[in-house]
Structure 1
């Protein structure tokens, strides 16, 4: 007698999910032969499925013949309910940050090769720099992008970069760039002159998840307010930014102290 489980089987889908679930629990990737052995099937059964997963960006080849997960699933998950909840929780804190700093601010997450703005708060007075929600910005020349890269593991960092290369143009990153990411992680925030707008400094701090990894970046595009003598200077604004990022990290479930709390 045919059961419901038999009636609704989708062997190709099951095979693809088996591969993804297997690779999710392995560091360093697996060869096609190792995948087939662990899943107790012949190597030929997985050739076409692995090819499709690579072409769709869910799996990548490393060291020639080993397969490893990319961050595409992570990127898709960022657009799901937890991130929407984070944006919702962040709104009153971002509003408070804008009031105290007299500057605009924005929240960005990683998605398929770039940083994506999921929430933004306007400056409370006449002047401020803002960016539209949904905007895709570079990982390599923005404060948000630097922070998103800096607060991930080395392996995840390389996967994020490869996601960018697959979806856009190839980039040449220098040893100095990687050293800068390490400095950002040690310092706890990024401060850099904007590569897009003269007179603006990107101040960015990480939102940490329960495992201590960066899940989002909170950024203040800082401008000097000439006719606002009571506005905080850049040092005080960095402190306000880190305080807000720490509060958001707690809301995200992190119990890891940020550099501002140590």
Structure 2
């Protein structure tokens, strides 16, 4: 499909994406993104060179970012770096809290429809952390306690979290999570490969007899799994309302697709 274009007052083509441009805001965001890639900060000259603009176009914007606390100037005044303000603002309402808030009603609906429980897991300090859980209305259930930590290499949720990271940087990702264990990664490689082929991880629980873990990734904007939703499937022999495993899997995949982060 051809890209829709508009016309400026002078008759020049203007794409739909350009219609609402705010050049000053763009410059400020460019500065923040450039500084975010530099751990040691940058001089004004280096920022100007990186952006390809004149010093006069950068000076006032940079000084406003300093005045508002988004950028910090070194004591000598010649280097600029990001302050902690953006981190503080982001953590007023952390992304994972938003994810849990969005997921909970959908998880509750999943539990009602399938008569199975499910729990939401994120990577945290070298483990998987359960941040939300939903239970069916029946009196039989598998309950995962919110706040519990799960091993990344022996649980369905943990293996799925690892499996759906970019293969070329999975070891780096594990180090960022606080895990430095190439040997442990090699030990679950077959399960990782199988999960990647299927698009989810399905297998017998490593902790409970008779439980089948169904774990599906929730992808972030970079294409890596930012969280995993797991159904600890239990076959109810005396309850005709309980859904079959294939039905629970289909419901779970539809739910995680809905929760994919933009």
Q: What does the per-residue CA deviation read over 1:115-160, in whole Å, with 9 as the maximum and x for residues that have no partner? A: 0011111122111111111111010111111111111113542134
Larger Rg computed on CA atoms: 2
Of 138, 148, 151, the residue aligned with 1:135 is 148
Partner of 2:29: none
**Aligned-residue CA RMSD (Å):** 3.0
With normalisation by structure 1, the TM-score equals 0.62
Q: 1:134 to 1:79 in 2, by over 3 A?
A: farther
1:196: Cα distance to partner? 1.1
Which residue is equivalent to 1:40? none
Select 1:199's aligned residue among 197, 210, 214: 210
Kept after mapping to 2: 8 A contact 1:78/1:111: no
Residue 220 of structure 2: aligned partner: 209
Match of 1:100 among 113, 117, 120: 113
Gapped regions of structure 1 (runs ≥ 5):
1-17, 24-34, 37-76, 254-262
Aligned-partner Cα distance in 1 for 2:185–2:97: 35
- Cα offset for 1:173? 2.9
d(CA) in 1 for partners of 2:229 and 2:97? 15
Partner in structure 1 of residue 38 of structure 2: 22
Q: Is the 1:116–1:136 contact (alpha carbons within 8 Å) kept by the matching residues of 2?
A: yes
CA distance in 2, matches of 1:239, 1:140: 25
Question: Does residue 230 in structure 1 map to residue 246 in structure 2?
Answer: no
Tell me how many residue pairs correspond in the alignment: 185
> What corresponds to 1:114 in structure 2?
127
1:125 equivalent in alignment to 2:141: no
CA contact (8 A) 2:153 2:185 kept: no
Q: Contact between 1:144 and 1:218, CA under 8 Å: does it hold in 2?
A: yes
TM-score, normalization by structure 2: 0.62
- RCO higher in 1 or 2 (8 Å CA, sep ≥ 6)? 1
Is 1:151 matched with 2:128?
A: no
